Amino acid sequence: KNNHRINEHGHLEINGADTTRLAEKYGTPLYVYDMEDICSRAEAFKQAFEEEGVGYQVAYASKAFSCIAIIELMDELGLSLDVVSGGELYTALKAEFPPHRIHFHGNNKTPDEIEMAVKAGIGCFVVDNFNELTWLMAITDALDTDMNVLLRITPGVEAHTHEYISTGQEDSKFGFDITSGQAEDAIVQVQDHSRLNLLGVHCHIGSQIFETTGFVSAVREVFGHLDQWRAAAGFVPEVVNLGGGFGIRYNEDDEPLPLQSYVKAMVNAVKEEASARKFPVPEIWIEPGRALVGEAGTTLYTVGSRKSIPGVRDYISVDGGMTDNLRPALYQAKYEAVAANKADQDRTETVSIAGKCCESGDMLIWDLTVPELNQGDVLAVTSTGAYGYSMANNYNRIARPPVVFIRHGEDQCVIQRETYENMTSLDRSLKQIGAQVQ
């Protein structure tokens, strides 16, 4: 892995920081992010667009990992930001991210969230359905504020890990259906509203995609409809947003493409379609989440108890699990791990890594080959940077781990470890409320 090496103590080192020392200093579980890895991925996306000579925005999908420090970093890198809730928007504003580079997504934005976004002066509102469009119109009117709008449509291309299925009618909770004329109605409504400026269209075909073909199909599908909408409503898009979903390497079965190749394929498809249909080449926006932060993150755990079932399996339990990484339990996601304090030792046994939650499904990794692991050893699970902290939870009242950034070998704690006190701080005691217990 980039920036991962084994140091003279036989310890896993990430970008110059000894993970065993980090585990001692901060305790475990601990999320560790390699800043340089994130920077080089952001640069790769940007550079690919620069080379293609098209207008673009790369918006970090903050659902993958949102906190003040990561948003500050994305700002430093000149990226835009995709938020999908009042909470993500609040975090972005608190991080002083420039509002004009914030894009607001979601299939059920509430009037309060819409008002918050309009008041903040965000750069773009991605309209998902007629309900929120009606609210957006009323709120922009009431606040006398203009808003740029993208319409989210479902292009009938759904990309899953390795294949994509082209369907005539997309069955999805997101966006306007394009086959029934709803998207066209929405375009007309936005155009007719003086406070709204229709910038273009948005689509997102899926996640953890390892081929460019799905994106190319989406571009073709979208432009097919754009022709129709130009004829019917005179609509010519300034922006086509193709969403995120660029695949990363979680384990050895995953073979991600260089990030540039997605960009090149998209840009070429957009240029071709635009020229064939006599559209000006629009700006191309993308929204990577996982591809920016996923491989940069590593979770450190301490090994605890061990259960050997002779001839069957050895369970090694660690001090975290589905509370800090829900993905194995939710999606049967497969991860790799190394013994951080024994990274130079031969892998002599096969064990399964269990989390500490009271739930049989709380298994982080099945059948991992490792050096002999004992209580107190540090296990590093790699590629946990996306949808790890952001989907962390307090099941079993387990506290959320802290997050440490590594920049040029220096560690900086950017999210503190949650405490038991934090977890009970919103609770109200019946005694305090004065309720009758019986």
Q: Is 387 annotated as a binding residue?
A: yes
Q: Is 164 annotated as a binding residue?
A: no
CA nearest 301: which of 236, 376, 383? 376
* Residue number, 101 or 327, with CB nearest to ligand LLP: 327
Residues 101-135 as b or e (16 or more Cβ within 10 Å = b): bbbbbbeebeeebbbbbbebebbbbbbbbeebbeb
Query: H-type helices in 283-359, by residue range?
Result: 290-293, 327-331
Count other C-beta atoms under 10 Å from residue 181's C-beta: 12
Collapsing DSSP to helix, strand or coil, 200 comes out as strand
Which stretches of 10-66 are assigned E, i.e. beta strand? 12-14, 17-18, 30-34, 56-61
* Residue number, 42 or 386, with CB nearest to ligand LLP: 386
Q: How far is CA 267 from the centre of its chain?
A: 22
Q: Is 401 annotated as a binding residue?
A: no
Q: Is 359 annotated as a binding residue?
A: yes
**Least distance in Å: CB of 202 to ligand LLP?**
7
Burial class (CB in 10 A: 0-12, 13-18, 19+), 21: middle
d(CA 232, CA 210): 36
**Least distance in Å: CB of 297 to ligand LLP?**
12
* Residue number, 208 or 317, with CB nearest to ligand LLP: 208
Q: Is 395 annotated as a binding residue?
A: no
Q: How far is CA 254 from the centre of its chain?
A: 18
Q: What is the DSSP letter of 396?
A: G
**Least distance in Å: CB of 235 to ligand LLP?**
21
d(CA 39, CA 303): 32
**Using N-to-C axis directions, what is the helix angle for 111-120 and 130-142, rounded to 10°?**
50
Q: Is 327 annotated as a binding residue?
A: yes
Q: Is 290 annotated as a binding residue?
A: yes
Q: Does residue 67 carry a catalytic annotation?
A: no
Q: End-to-end distance of the chain based on CA atoms, in angstroms?
A: 60
Residues at the interface with ligand LLP (CB under 6 A): 61, 64, 82, 105, 204, 207, 243-246, 287-291, 327, 386-387
Q: What is the DSSP letter of 121?
A: T
d(CA 394, CA 3): 31
Q: Which residues are catalytic?
A: 358
Residues tagged in the binding site annotation for substrate:
290, 327, 331, 359, 387
